[in-house]
A and B are shown apart, each in its own frame.
Chain A
Amino acid sequence: MEFAANITAAALFQQILVGLSRTTILFIVSSGLSLVLGVLRIPNIAHGSLYMIGAFMTWSIATVVGGSPAAFWLALAFAPLAVALVSFVVERGIFCRLYDREHLMLLLFTFSLTLVFNDLVKLIWGSDYRSLNAPDFLQGSFSIFGLPFPRYNLFLLLTGPLVALGLWLLTNRTKIGKIARAAAVDREMVSAVGINVSWVFAWVFVIGCYLAGLGGALVAPTQNITQGMDHAIIIEAFLIVIIGGLGNIWGALLGALIFGLTDAIGILVWPQFAIVFPYTAVVIVLVFRPKGLLKSVW
């Protein structure tokens, strides 16, 4: 076999673009996880389940509204909101009573939530897999240096920076963002100045889970919407959050870039063993920076 006969500048460039569109999804999901981890100090294992619910909701809304092109956009707008609503109920109903408990308890609790959500998905949507199509103008591909690049991936590439910008505005330019950052550093001090920390936590949790739902909604047209999609994403999201620095949103961006790009380039360079590339990158980062690349808030 001619080793890696297919590596040309054009192929590499295109592979990087494909990798960046995957990065977008990884970033959206893991930034939500990181936000909750940083402010609430909860490693929310159920984050992956909310991603899965987001994808199923997208399918349901798009199917109920009917096949028009607007259906997909409506689903994309409302499915993450529905996920946010679910997380709001869970936070106000159960989580907010548990913040005093130790971390292990919270971890176990979010784990039990994954089981509950999994069964709920099975009850509501059944065990078949669902498939959803992007609107017509996002289907198909266009050519970059003679190689195809799917239009939907371009759409993802444009969405990523928008979400990053939104998160930056939220954490740096809004009151709740500033309070959340302060609460992450010193919870007692924030409540001492008369702010209801409990509600701040609720908002942050809901925003974090909204991002999980958004990630699920965005991948819905590209893959099977099925049970088990939660496991795959939560492992990757945790790895990304860990190499980026726990609770640091920009660390999540950096981690997602490393993960997405090593994956895509690995597939081009050494396709038989591509699976190991992103994980090797994780190991290398952790050997040299055990606390992650950027400053951890923990």
Chain B
Amino acid sequence: MKKRALWTIVGLVSLGLVLAGGSAVSAKTIKVGIVDCYSGPPSTYTNDVRDAFQLAVDQFNAQGGVLGNTIEFVTRDSKFKVDIGLSAAKELLLRENVDILMGTINSSLALAISDLSLKEKVPFIATFSKSAKITGAKGNRYVFSMTENTALAGKAAAHGLAKRPYTTYWIAGDDYEYGHAIADGVWENLKQLKPDVKLLGESWWKVGEPDFTPYITSILAAKPDAVIVATGGRDCVPFLKAAKATGFNDKVPFYMHTATELSTLKPLGLDAPEGVIGTSNYFFYYPQTPANEAFVKEFEAAYNRKPAVGALYGFMTAHFIKQAYEKAGSTDTEKFIDALEGMVIDTPVGKVEMRAYDHQAMLPMYMGVTKKMPGYDFLVATDIVTISGAEAMPSVESIRKARGE
């Protein structure tokens, strides 16, 4: 009697173990937690990241997932606030048990989550924050960046501008971190590439400046050869409007980092100014490669709109994640990071390397000029010059220096 009871218990326990073990294997998912701003104007950019990520993840899962695991993701709205975003990231780690954190268009939040990811030893992939500090001075083993940053854009723009015949410049921009970072980035590099450039003056306005006309008219009075406009986000559209109204673009050529991006040009329709020089990581119409055409077709079929630059970041992130796990051969975090370092993958913009030292994706940068083109009800970039990732990236030496190593 006693023996029989014992055998029953042993039987039940072993059955339980087998069942539990079996379910653990079959139900294993790789979970990604995305924290980003999905309310307010920044959502114009962030929705594309999320949607393209979704597109890629659906494709992976349909093909049997990654190492036999399905990828799943959850999103949280940071409302562009650091405290809300950071607590959302903590919640994702504690309650949702995510394997990877991703997101944020807000640079301050990206830096905060980067600190958290280092502490919790969970990889964090920054998808749209433009601060060079993320993979520069404040970089760490767990943080990766899938987007260009102010250092990269500045260097790329300087390369493009140095080839043009301008010598006297005026700098104007948003009086906050992004504006100054991008202006310094362009100017420092431009001075090195072309020592005879001269700065006539600078104008700085507050973020959300309601009227740019007085700034533009005062710059025109100074008659520079070209102007570097360091403004971003929601100020781009009103600035371009004021530029059009004053005929700024006809009188003096100006460079504005995000001027050629779809998210900037689409709301303006055909009334955007022509001849504005801008830089971007991606256009749905450039590069004209089969890989990009296929991506645009898939994205359009799924969401009924053209992919903007954010879509590249989201799509690329999903592919990097998948291929890094496959290269690592396991879902172990440390092995995943080792695999991701230095990895090269095919993307809609060609081969992109994840630089091993600073975890910055080496994206090519396209410098183009806005122009009306038949077939589009908004302006597009033409005369595109490609500045390769290797040219645009700040050197490993300079990153080492910034980190005080």
Q: Which residues of A contact B (CB under 8 A)?
A: 1-2, 4-8, 10-11, 14-15, 18-19, 21-22, 122, 127-131, 133, 139-141, 147-153, 219, 221-224, 226-229, 232-233, 263-264, 267-268, 271-275
CB-CB under 8 A for A222 and B199, given A14-B217, A127-B40, A267-B215: no
Q: Tell me if B271 is interfacial: C-beta within 8 Å of chain A.
A: yes
Q: Could you list 16 A-B pairs, sorted by A, with CB under 8 Å?
A: A1-B199, A14-B217, A14-B221, A15-B221, A129-B41, A131-B237, A140-B245, A141-B247, A148-B251, A150-B246, A222-B238, A222-B242, A227-B40, A267-B215, A271-B203, A273-B204
Q: Are B43 and A127 in contact (CB under 8 A)?
A: yes
Name the distance in Å between B246's Cβ and chain A's nearest Cβ: 5
Name the distance in Å between A160's Cβ and chain B's nearest Cβ: 14
Contact partners of B215 in chain A: CB under 8 A: 267, 271, 274
Q: Are A150 and B40 in contact (CB under 8 A)?
A: no
Name the distance in Å between B301's Cβ and chain A's nearest Cβ: 23
Q: Are A130 and B214 in contact (CB under 8 A)?
A: no
Name the distance in Å between A47's Cβ and chain B's nearest Cβ: 15
Q: Tell me if B208 is interfacial: C-beta within 8 Å of chain A.
A: yes
Name the distance in Å between B209's Cβ and chain A's nearest Cβ: 8
Bound-complex Cα distance A271 to B171 (A): 10
Q: Are A150 and B205 in contact (CB under 8 A)?
A: no
Residue interface bits B171-203, CB-to-A below 8 A is 1, else 0: 010010000000000000000000000011111
Q: Are B41 and A150 in contact (CB under 8 A)?
A: no
Bound-complex Cα distance A82 to B175 (A): 36
Name the distance in Å between A147's Cβ and chain B's nearest Cβ: 6
Q: Are A223 and B210 in contact (CB under 8 A)?
A: yes
Q: Are A224 and B203 in contact (CB under 8 A)?
A: no
Name the distance in Å between A9's Cβ and chain B's nearest Cβ: 11
Residue interface bits B259-284, CB-to-A below 8 A is 1, else 0: 00000000111010000000000000
CB-CB under 8 A for A223 and B211, given A127-B39, A127-B40, A140-B247: yes
Q: Are A150 and B213 in contact (CB under 8 A)?
A: yes
Name the distance in Å between A110's Cβ and chain B's nearest Cβ: 22
Bound-complex Cα distance A219 to B241 (A): 12
Q: Are B241 and A131 in contact (CB under 8 A)?
A: yes
Q: Are B218 and A222 in contact (CB under 8 A)?
A: no
Smallest CB gap from A143: residue in B: B247
Bound-complex Cα distance A295 to B211 (A): 30
Q: Are B203 and A272 in contact (CB under 8 A)?
A: yes
CB-CB under 8 A for A232 and B221, given A139-B244, A153-B213, A226-B234: no
Bound-complex Cα distance A263 to B269 (A): 30
Smallest CB gap from A133: residue in B: B271
Bound-complex Cα distance A153 to B248 (A): 15
Nearest 8 A/B pairs, CB to CB: A6-B222, A271-B203, A11-B221, A150-B245, A6-B221, A223-B238, A268-B218, A264-B214
Q: Are A19 and B214 in contact (CB under 8 A)?
A: yes
Name the distance in Å between A188's Cβ and chain B's nearest Cβ: 41
Q: Tell me if B164 is interfacial: C-beta within 8 Å of chain A.
A: no
Contact partner of A131 (CB less than 8 A), chosen from B172, B203, B221, B267, is: B267
Bound-complex Cα distance A272 to B211 (A): 16
Q: Are A148 and B220 in contact (CB under 8 A)?
A: yes
Contact partner of A272 (CB less than 8 A), chosen from B44, B202, B206, B248, is: B202
Q: Are B202 and A224 in contact (CB under 8 A)?
A: no
Name the distance in Å between A131's Cβ and chain B's nearest Cβ: 5
Smallest CB gap from B43: residue in A: A127
Smallest CB gap from A263: residue in B: B214
Contact partner of A22 (CB less than 8 A), chosen from B205, B214, B222, is: B214
Contact partners of A11 in chain B: CB under 8 A: 217-218, 221
Q: Are A5 and B201 in contact (CB under 8 A)?
A: yes
